[in-house]
Amino acid sequence: MHIARTLLPFLLTSFLSGQQGPAPSTIAAPPRESPAAVARYIKVPAAEYILLENVRVIDGTGAPARENQMVMLHHGKIEYVQAQAADFMTPTGTVMLDLKGHTVFPGIVGMHDHMYYIARPNLDAMGHSEPPLIVPQMTFTSPHLYLGAGVTTLRTTGSVEPYTDLNLRKEIDAGRLAGPHMDVTAPYLEGANSPFIQMHQLADADDARRTVDFWADEGATSFKAYMNITRAELKAAIDEAHKRGLKLTGHLCSVTYPEAVGLGIDNLEHGFYVNTQLDPGKKPDVCPATAGHPTLAKMTPQTEEGKALIGLLISHHVAVTSTLPVFEPADPRHVQVQPRVLDAMSAPTREAYLITRNSEMMRASADKELAVDRAQQYANNTAMERAFVAAGGLLMAGPDPTGDGGVLPGYGDQREIELLVEAGFTPVEAIKIATLNGATYLGRAASIGSITPGKNADLVVVKGDPSKKISDIENTEIVFKDGVGYDSQKLLDSAKGRYGQY
Ligand SMILES: [Zn+2]
């Protein structure tokens, strides 16, 4: 047992309850020491018992927030949650954290959480850049931003450096690097004529099968189809993934949502943004330049097509991932840039982001019709997401850190929750979408996704009350992963000025 009083956070009110001094007989196993690279980010080291006191609990099930609770952690698991008592016994050596004024909710399960950034070679002042489009891997900053912002489990949802992602998962799980638990998605399953130079382009259905087999053997635990895949390739990939007990999602275009549902897909990315079923002139297996925008413009929960699609998704148990942060610039309400987002970027990244953003805004102000259309699509998408949930659909959350460059790992996951609330979900519903729903999809709801006895102690401690003011989810102080409390600020500070660089 190696918990020095001086290393513990300001929140710690008493290290030893009951008698003073160590009592080895009551301690089953000393917590494992973390290597220096990780230890520097730890605020509350592993302990046999950790008690969170006087804390508000949002449990991730959609239930109302509960005031003034005690949450006991035992060997990295949640032992109990109960109303704060004036007089109670704790095992000797229990680490006690007085969290008055704070809220705890489950670690975020980020379902569209890439490890890369979008680069624009030789961007000029007009917002033009040279090909190719490149997405450099952010192996240091991404995991720190994710964990620091409260993401304790994520799905990479398409990999461009699959061995980096696989090794990163190994290093994190071994406790040698700080970061969330990772569901590593294989390299994108993309068809011919991809705009992304880093993606393999499948030759045919056999290639799709071989690719799925290869990456499943290498350790990938999920798959993602991309915009130019054919129906035959998609069908082969889905069947092969299912044979291995793995799931497949898609950012589609060449294949429509109803077609993909018919082929057995498990999940659709980007809400209702990339469905091409009503795009004029849509040809089978070809991604139209319109990429789903005309379909979304016509699709509301009140239309026959909208009702039929929601019914189809639910009857086939197809989950939908909401990625509102990457679309929010389309809505005129969203003109502000968060200072913390700019601070996290390296200087050239910040410059490129601001140029891109400004040229997009100039384009929108020059073309009022386009701006109105984009705002309408954003509204239709959020209406469809709400109707999908109301009808019993499984909606999940992720930021998709790409777009105009302003969507960052972790900060974007928090922003997604805020945008879900803006779209009409209650704060506790939005938190459930971003926690328990992802865990359910991943088949891990027995161990993560809610604050329930027996589950892993993956928890986010924030100052304030997100059940009343959702932006309080940004006030992260401690992020527990498997009962180890990480110092949110230190993780976020470590990425300052570096995102876009490494
Ligand atoms: Zn994506």
Q: For Cα atoms 324, 317, 109, give the angle at the middle one, nearest 5 degrees.
A: 45
Residue 425 DSSP symbol: -
Contacts of 198 by beta carbon, 8 Å cutoff, 6+ apart: 134, 135, 160
Ligand 1 centroid distance, CA of 175 (Å):
27
Residue 490 domain-assigned (yes or no): yes
Residue 482: predicted pLDDT? 97
Yes or no: say if 42 and 7 are a contact pair by the CB < 8 Å rule: no
Ligand 1 centroid distance, CA of 73 (Å):
35
Residue 30: predicted pLDDT? 47
Ligand 1 centroid distance, CA of 389 (Å):
22
Same domain, 194 and 255: yes
Ligand 1 centroid distance, CA of 234 (Å):
18
Ligand 1 centroid distance, CA of 400 (Å):
5
Residue 461: predicted pLDDT? 98
What's the CATH number where 259 sits?
3.20.20.140
Same domain, 125 and 93: no
Same domain, 41 and 186: no
Torsion of CA 356, 362, 364, 367, to 10 degrees: -140
Q: What tokens appear for 20 in the block? A: 């003073």
pLDDT digits (tens, 9 = 90+) for 143-174: 999 999 999 999 999 999 999 999 999 999 99
- What CA–CA distance (Å, rounded) separates 93 from 82? 20
Q: DSSP letters of 358-418?
A: HHHHHHHHH-HHHHHHHHHHHHHHHHHHHHHHHTT--EEE---S-TTTT--TTHHHHHHHH
Written in H, E and C, the secondary structure of 224-281 is EECCCCCHHHHHHHHHHHHHCCCEEEECCCCCCHHHHHHHCCCEECCCCCCCCCCCCC
Ligand 1 centroid distance, CA of 183 (Å):
14
Q: Give the gyration radius of the chain's Cα atoms.
A: 23
Domain that holds residue 426: 3-20+108-441
Residue 25 domain-assigned (yes or no): no
Written in H, E and C, the secondary structure of 182-199 is EECECECEECCCCCECCC
How far, in whole angstroms, is CA 257 from its chain's centroid? Answer: 22
Same domain, 65 and 197: no
Residue 502 domain-assigned (yes or no): no
Same domain, 363 and 472: no
Residue 11: predicted pLDDT? 31
Question: For the chain, which ranges sit under pLDDT 70?
Answer: 1-33
What's the CATH number where 81 sits?
2.30.40.10
Judge residue 115's burial from the number of C-beta atoms within 10 Å of its C-beta, 0-12 exposed, 13-18 middle, 19 or more buried. Answer: buried
Ligand 1 centroid distance, CA of 237 (Å):
19
Ligand 1 centroid distance, CA of 80 (Å):
37
Residue 28 domain-assigned (yes or no): no
Same domain, 323 and 382: yes
Ligand 1 centroid distance, CA of 49 (Å):
39
Residue 485 domain-assigned (yes or no): yes
Residue 262: predicted pLDDT? 98
Q: What tokens appear for 236 in the block? A: 């082969």
Yes or no: say if 229 and 254 are a contact pair by the CB < 8 Å rule: yes
Q: For Cα atoms 358, 361, 363, give the angle at the middle one, nearest 5 degrees.
A: 110
Ligand 1 centroid distance, CA of 157 (Å):
6
Same domain, 269 and 214: yes
Residue 154 domain-assigned (yes or no): yes
Judge residue 429's burial from the number of C-beta atoms within 10 Å of its C-beta, 0-12 exposed, 13-18 middle, 19 or more buried. Answer: middle
Residue 415: predicted pLDDT? 98
Q: Which of 441, 469, 484 is the last residue of a domain?
A: 441
Query: First and final CA of the chain: distance in angstroms?
Result: 35
Strand duo 395-397 + 459-463: pairing: unpaired
Q: What tokens appear for 50 in the block? A: 């950790």
Same domain, 241 and 378: yes
Domain count, the chain: 2
Same domain, 312 and 263: yes
Question: What is the pTM for the complete model shown?
Answer: 0.93
Q: DSSP letters of 37-51?
A: HHHTTEEE---SEEE
Same domain, 250 and 371: yes
Ligand 1 centroid distance, CA of 158 (Å):
7
- What CA–CA distance (Å, rounded) separates 23 from 13? 19
Report the percentage of the chain scoring pLDDT > 90.
87
Residue 501 domain-assigned (yes or no): no
Ligand 1 centroid distance, CA of 286 (Å):
20
Same domain, 85 and 175: no
